[in-house]
Amino acid sequence: MNKQKIKAVFYDLDNTLYPQVLDVQQRVRFCIKEFSLPKCVEEFWITEWLDNGPKKTNIIDNVIDTFSLKIDKYLLLSAYRSYKTSLSLDKDVRNMLIDIKRRGIKQFLITNGQPIVQLGKINSLGLSEFFDNISIAVGSHAKPCPHLFLETIRNYGLESEQCLSVGDWYEIDGVASIDAGIYFLHIEGGPIKENLPSGVRSIIKLPYIEDFL
């Protein structure tokens, strides 16, 4: 990767631009209050998410089964997803986004997830002002499919080798980026635990990507 040629940065959202556990905690606490669930459910639910990460899809099933809750799973899931959390960017991350934008480097956000949920986070974090384009990838275009990376590169007249991508999940963010010909940086610290292939570089904090620009 030639630092002098980087003209665009692609970002993942959850556990890349902010710690997703902050969003999960607020949603869980809302559900506890909304459905008058036992307080001990909160710790179990959040621990389940931290231990298994967003790859696990049956966390709510485990919560209901463990505590023998008399509640409809889909009602609980709907409340969890529809709650509007209050989030904020770390000062260092905000300053980094401002600095990279000032340098004339384009910034793109591509995130998987439920559109209503992801849009709520994006709006709460105030991200729109920093990005040239924001995409929520769903269905066949969801990462690790590289479609939205390739489409963005084409629409903005870029070359793959002019781009840098950063995310917390190699099997999703990394594969999509690399299949699009984009250099990928892995950010540590999220709930996803995986063995990275040799040659994949990691950073501890997102603002460290400026060392690669």
pLDDT at position 54: 73
Picking from 67, 82, 97, the residue at the C-terminal end of a domain is 82
Same-domain status, 60 and 9: no
**Domain total in the chain:** 2
| One domain, residues 77 and 113 | no
pLDDT at 193: 85
Check whether the bond before 144 is cis (ω within 30° of 0): yes
Q: Does residue 163 share a domain with residue 198?
A: yes
Q: Are 57 and 74 in contact (CB under 8 A)?
A: no
Residue type, 153: I
In this predicted structure, what is the pLDDT of residue 2? 63
Asked whether residue 96 falls in the same domain as residue 147, the answer is: yes
Same domain, 111 and 8: yes
The three-point CA angle 119-123-126 to 5° equals 140
- Domain range enclosing 13: 3-18+87-212
Last residue of a domain, one of 82, 99, 125: 82
> Does 27 lie in the same domain as 7?
no
Residue 77 and residue 93 share a domain: no
Is there a single domain that holds both residue 70 and residue 154? no
Digitized pLDDT (tens) for each residue of the chain, 213 residues in all: 666 689 999 999 999 999 999 999 999 999 999 999 999 999 999 999 988 777 777 899 999 999 999 999 999 999 999 999 999 999 999 999 999 999 999 999 999 999 999 999 999 999 999 999 999 999 999 999 999 999 999 999 999 999 999 999 999 999 999 999 999 999 998 888 889 999 999 999 999 999 999
Instruction: Report the C-alpha gap between 202 and 23 in whole angstroms.
Output: 24
Q: Which residues contact 162 (CB under 8 A, 6 or more apart)?
A: 5, 6, 7, 8
Residue 163, CA distances (Å) to 112, 128, 147, 152, 160 in order: 20, 20, 15, 11, 5
pTM of the model as a whole: 0.94
Instruction: Pick the closest to residue 171 from 37, 30, 55 (CA basis).
Output: 55
Q: Which of 82, 109, 130 represents a domain boundary (last residue)?
A: 82
Angle between helices 40-52 and 59-66 (to 10 degrees): 150
Q: Which two tokens stand for residue 11?
A: 């970002």
pLDDT of residue 102: 97
* Eight-class DSSP state of 201: E
DSSP tag of 170: I
Give the CATH number for residue 183: 3.40.50.1000
